[in-house]
Amino acid sequence: MRTYIDCLPCFMDQALRAGRIATKDEAKIKELLDYVGSMIKDIPMENTPPETGNIIYREVRRITGVADPYKEIKKFHIKEALALYPELKKIVSLSENRLLTAIRIAIAGNVIDLGVNKKFNLIEDVAKILKQDFAILHIDEFIEELDKAESILYLGDNAGESVFDKVLIEELGKPVTYVVRDVPIINDVTYKDAIASGLGEVAEIISSGTSAPGTILRLCNDEFIRQFEKADMVISKGQGNYEGLSNVNRLVFFLLKTKCEIIAKHLHVQENDIVLKASDYN
- Would you tell me which residues interact with a copy of itself (CB under 8 A)? 5-6, 8-9, 12-13, 15-16, 26, 29-30, 33-34, 36-41, 45
Nearer to a copy of itself, 3 or 241 (CB): 3
Nearer to a copy of itself, 17 or 89 (CB): 17
Compute the least distance from the CB of residue 7 to a copy of itself, in Å: 10
Nearer to a copy of itself, 33 or 99 (CB): 33
**Contact between 104 and 274 (Cβ < 8 Å):** yes
In whole angstroms, give the CA distance from residue 39 to residue 265.
Answer: 26
Phi/psi of residue 44, nearest 5 degrees: -70, 120
Q: Among residues 190, 196, 236, which one has the least CA distance to residue 212?
A: 190
Compute the least distance from the CB of residue 56 to a copy of itself, in Å: 12
Report how far apart, in Å, the C-alpha atoms of 36 and of each of 15, 16, 63, 203 are: 7, 10, 12, 38
CB atoms within 10 A of CB 180: 23
**Helices 71-94 and 161-172: crossing angle, nearest 10°?**
40
Compute the least distance from the CB of residue 73 to a copy of itself, in Å: 21
Compute the least distance from the CB of residue 218 to a copy of itself, in Å: 24
Q: Among residues 98, 232, 110, which one has the least CA distance to residue 168?
A: 98
Nearer to a copy of itself, 6 or 229 (CB): 6
What residues pair up with 137 in beta bridges, in sequence order? 276
Report how far apart, in Å, the C-alpha atoms of 31 and of each of 26, 56, 66 are: 9, 12, 15
Nearer to a copy of itself, 78 or 114 (CB): 114
Compute the least distance from the CB of residue 238 to a copy of itself, in Å: 23
Nearer to a copy of itself, 38 or 93 (CB): 38
Compute the least distance from the CB of residue 217 to a copy of itself, in Å: 26
CB atoms within 10 A of CB 88: 23
Compute the least distance from the CB of residue 60 to a copy of itself, in Å: 14
The string of DSSP letters for 159-223 reads TTHHHHHHHHHHHH-S-EEEEEBSS--TTB-BHHHHHHTTGGGTSEEEE-S--SSS--GGGS-HH
Q: Among residues 2, 11, 103, 8, which one has the least CA distance to residue 53?
A: 11
Nearer to a copy of itself, 9 or 173 (CB): 9
